[in-house]
Structure 1
Amino acid sequence: MHFDLIAARSAVHSGERSAVGLLDAARMASDTPANRHTFVRTFWEQAEAAARAADLAAGSAALPCLPLAGLAVSVKDLFDVAGQPTTGGSRVLQDGAPAAQDAAAVARLRAAGAALTGHTNMTEFAFSGVGWNPHHGTPPNPADPDVPRIPGGSTSGGAVSVATGAAWAALGSDTGGSIRIPAALQGLVGFKNTARLTPLEGAIPLSTTLDTACAITKSVRDAVLLHEVLAARQVRANRRPLRAWRLAIARDTMQDGLDGTVANAFDSTLQRLRNQGAQIEQIGLPELSQLSRIQATGGFSAAESWAWHRVRLEVDGERYDPRVAQRIRRGAQMSAADYIDLVHARRAWIAQVERQLEGFDAVLSPTVPIVAPPIAAIADDDAEFFRVNALLLRNPSIVNMLDGCALSLPCHAPDQLPVGLMVWSSALHDDTVLAVSLAIEAALLLEGA
């Protein structure tokens, strides 16, 4: 196991390492060229106060050692941090007043001892899986030091902060894959919990139906810890061996159009898991192909973002990223009847898919079907941008529509660009998904992933 947040926490609690020293290292990492577009704003002073408090607790039997031990956690520029503006990666809100109080998720991180280091860059208003931001620059994917590649979005800067060592974990959101896409493209772990388990108060909404507050981490066990903090609940992850879980592969839709690197990594991963005794069965899920028809009028994100942005677009539309504004404005064409039909269609679709998944503990799929393309390929080409965006969102957004839970973990060889394996299930099977992911991560490490 690499040096993850839990290992760093143990070192702080034992006095082997200081939280202040680890925070200094994170700050140095944030100042490197790799992070030139990662943060929208930083708040190191309050982070240092949290780190000092953690070191005091480690040296005193009278003070409690908190779960996040003064370690660096970045916050997507979507969540309120008391005393700071929240701008959603946009210029439209840059003149807004500072937040009066922390968002609920931020408050839970702070209470757990996190050293909150800064607001991270993101796709404007979280409306894209690419990670492109014309206002603050697009954070380059650190997985390829030679070719600037997209980071994935919308939690782009959050993922880069973790991948470069500028944070141990990143608070973000996932509406159609915004945690899992950048995690997959950067070789990290991203867990999207069942949406209702984590609070969204104090966060700029994209889709009030689909938004989920969750985190990007370095390991699956870190994902368990962050989920416990954010959801204020204890995960009961059954530590059964890999062979004790019954796993499915979705034959339909999710394996369509894989590029060579993803296809090879996915096939190799399945074989390695089978070598470790995993029971994996391929199943048909024709219901997945129905989503394009169900969302033909625009979907929840278009309708619900239009409700939030319509006045701002009328007044300040020229300051929006045109690609984001175009997607939001699609919601203007949806009628109330369209929206009600969508709600009912989703409910019926969820029931159909859940019936198909009965008897399986989790489903395995590629998180996204492609590796990260160069930023240059999408920078000035709207058609290519929207093609890549649709590909990136296709697999993870299925889980959001299912109201389910999913974790992406890396499954590529060391000499490959990052590829994510998505472990997913329906609503409130979070602990099972986490338990299966722990077993898969252990098996892949054993096989020398």
Structure 2
Amino acid sequence: MSELHTLSVAEAGRLIGSRKVSPVELVEAMLARIAAVDDRLNSYLLVLAERALSTARTAEAEIMAGGWRGPLHGIPFGIKDNYHVAGLPTTGGSRLMQDSPPQPETATIVARLERAGAILMGKLNTWEYGTGDGQVYHDLPYPVARNPWDLARFTGGSSTGAGAAVAGGTALFALGSDTGGSIRLPAAACGLQGLKPTFGRNSRAACLPNCWSLDHTGALTWTVEDQAIVLGATAGFDPRDPSSATAPVPDYRRGLHEGVRGLVIGIVRDLDGVDPAIRAGIEDAGKRLAEAGAILREVSLPAPLSTYQAVAWTINWAESFSIHEQDFLARRGQMGRALRTKMGAGFCVRAVDYLAALRERRRLALATDALVRSVDALLIPGAFHVAPSLREPDTVPAFTRDTACAAFNLSGHPALSLCTGFDAGGLPLNAQIVGRTFDEATVLRVAQAYEAATPWRARKPDPAPHAPEPIMPDTTPPSVSPEHLAEAERYATRYGLDGLAPAEVAELALLLDKTAAAGLAIPRQSSKEDEPAHVFRVPLR
């Protein structure tokens, strides 16, 4: 038998269900793995050893008495530390929440997993509040999570610990959250399968918000079948989440292995800036799907990627700032630089640009939906680059910026980051499989057909004994004209942002230009009747 920490969810579930492995054995193996490697992976912020062992003993007794609940019973998992758990603190990876009291309620999808018998091992590392500006400044209360394939490399953000944990064997699966790629980017960097379901498919209740209208919750797993198992437990309507959908939840494992013969796969080849190795992996994926009987059709997104990005950034900046406004105005000195910079951008967004973004979002979502509905699934780049080195900090922001991920946060379609092999240096490659709304079953079916035809799931990382020291990014204050500095200072004073240091004023001046450029890049609607994507409805829930 393989070492227990290397099992997939499906493999472990079968062993537990047949009583060949006990939940206690599995949890003990995971705790041993955490003790062996997490001093350098930094996947966990909080390990719940006694709680997990106690739950495992209860699960073992239930199973021995004939009460096996299904494939998640006894399976250890971790959650990004933006999910609330009753009786435990949530830190969001931030100094601002270090003294937070225990939470009164548990996030809906965490509670559903626990009802299915899964065992919570602890809370996982994250970018501060699950967001930032794309750079890693090494200035948070916890050390940065490291990529198990190469400890000098970035895990992808913002679900950093989730990527490190599943790839490094400190959790069999993990929950992340995704506003513009924060499940799919760690999956891409760490060689995992990461699914952002349809907007509303999984509840967001009792998960710290980042951007209300773009946030999705979901899992990172080792295999596609694991995704089917986990989504089957988490999906479904939740009255606690105003955006929760009432669409019925199918059995995602039924039909998973039916193959792709006769399915039409739209392949997107015309995005610029994709690394050659990433592009080659996507072409190979298309070739293998065609060999399995799929019909490939070359297609294009209905708008330039830059339009999707300007819309997503503007919505994200504005909504995120609304969430954290009071902390930014009163306690920004306790924020890490990445969060502080993003809040500065939100501070600068004009209301008219936010509403223009919402109006354009509706148009983009409808056009994207028409594209997706013209095929059975899309094959499209996800992250355009392999995981960057933390010793080359200038390369880190591009990993988050250069992607086709945010398009499907805007449109709400399900999108899965799929491992498509490895480059010459042994770093994971990736692609996205995108499906029709609430048709995660087809996304998983296509991904499973590719996974079954390739050897990538047999390859596991072996973390090095030591993590190299990162190199800090350059934070030299930018050069800004006196006129721009004066304009920024007046703006800050007018809206209650007092006591800025000269470097902060200079940064604010650049953010005013950056947000204005993004806002002006958003197309304006020709009709006065074109409403924004947010439409007020009654009764509220």
* Structure 1 segment 189-208 matched on structure 2, within 5 A: 189-208=193-212
Native 8 Å contact 1:220 1:434 kept in 2: yes
Q: Secondary structure at 2:117's aligned position in 1?
A: coil
Native 8 Å contact 1:155 1:182 kept in 2: yes
Match of 2:286 among 270, 274, 278: 270
Deviation at 1:154, TM superposition (A): 0.7
| 2:130 counterpart of 1:126 | yes
Which residue identity lines up with residue 40 of structure 1 in the other structure? L
Which residue identity lines up with residue 439 of structure 2 in the other structure? H
Relative distance call for 1:428 and 1:110 in structure 2 (3 A) is: same
Structure 1 vs Structure 2 CA RMSD:
2.4
Q: Which residue of 1 aligns with 2:520?
A: none
Deviation at 1:279, TM superposition (A): 1.5
Q: Count residues with an aligned counterpart.
A: 437
Hey, what's the Cα distance between the residues in 2 that align with 1:34 and 1:104? 28
Hey, what's the Cα distance between the residues in 1 that align with 2:68 and 2:399? 47
| 2:46 counterpart of 1:45 | no
Match of 1:408 among 414, 417, 425: 417
* Structure 1 segment 9-408 matched on structure 2, within 5 A: 9-36=13-40, 37-61=42-66, 63-128=67-132, 132=136, 134-135=139-140, 136-144=142-150, 148-232=152-236, 233-236=249-252, 238-239=255-256, 240-253=258-271, 256-289=272-305, 291-292=307-308, 294-295=310-311, 298-378=313-393, 381=394, 384-391=395-402, 394-408=403-417
Native 8 Å contact 2:419 2:456 kept in 1: no
Deviation at 1:125, TM superposition (A): 1.2
Deviation at 1:215, TM superposition (A): 0.4
Hey, what's the Cα distance between the residues in 1 that align with 2:281 and 2:349? 40
Deviation at 1:156, TM superposition (A): 0.8
Relative distance call for 1:42 and 1:315 in structure 2 (3 A) is: same
1:92-135 Cα distance to aligned partner (Å, 9 max, x none): 11111111121112111111111101110111111148584532
Hey, what's the Cα distance between the residues in 2 that align with 1:293 and 1:143? 29
Hey, what's the Cα distance between the residues in 1 that align with 2:135 and 2:430? 17
Hey, what's the Cα distance between the residues in 2 that align with 1:448 and 1:16? 22
Hey, what's the Cα distance between the residues in 2 that align with 1:66 and 1:447? 23
1:295-322 Cα distance to aligned partner (Å, 9 max, x none): 28x4221111101111011121111111
Hey, what's the Cα distance between the residues in 2 that align with 1:198 and 1:448? 30
Which residue identity lines up with residue 245 of structure 1 in the other structure? L
Deviation at 1:65, TM superposition (A): 2.7
Q: Secondary structure at 1:395's aligned position in 2?
A: coil
1:272-303 Cα distance to aligned partner (Å, 9 max, x none): 3323333211112241435257528x422111
Q: Which residue of 2 aligns with 1:423?
A: 433
Hey, what's the Cα distance between the residues in 1 that align with 2:323 and 2:457? 48
Deviates more, 1:123-132 or 1:397-406: 123-132
Normalised by the size of structure 1, how large is the TM-score? 0.91
Relative distance call for 1:446 and 1:389 in structure 2 (3 A) is: closer
Q: Secondary structure at 1:106's aligned position in 2?
A: helix
Q: Which has the larger radius of gyration?
A: 2
Native 8 Å contact 1:35 1:139 kept in 2: no
1:302-356 Cα distance to aligned partner (Å, 9 max, x none): 1111011110111211111112211122112223333222222101111112223
Deviation at 1:68, TM superposition (A): 1.4
Relative distance call for 1:198 and 1:293 in structure 2 (3 A) is: closer
Identity between Structure 1 and Structure 2 (%): 29
Deviation at 1:409, TM superposition (A): 1.8
Native 8 Å contact 1:174 1:212 kept in 2: yes
Native 8 Å contact 1:12 1:18 kept in 2: yes
Relative distance call for 1:293 and 1:66 in structure 2 (3 A) is: closer
Hey, what's the Cα distance between the residues in 2 that align with 1:388 and 1:9? 34
Hey, what's the Cα distance between the residues in 2 that align with 1:414 and 1:150? 16
Native 8 Å contact 1:194 1:405 kept in 2: yes
Normalised by the size of structure 2, how large is the TM-score? 0.76
Relative distance call for 1:35 and 1:262 in structure 2 (3 A) is: farther
Relative distance call for 1:91 and 1:275 in structure 2 (3 A) is: same
Native 8 Å contact 1:123 1:131 kept in 2: no
Which residue identity lines up with residue 359 of structure 1 in the other structure? S
Which residue identity lines up with residue 400 of structure 2 in the other structure? N
Q: Secondary structure at 1:87's aligned position in 2?
A: coil
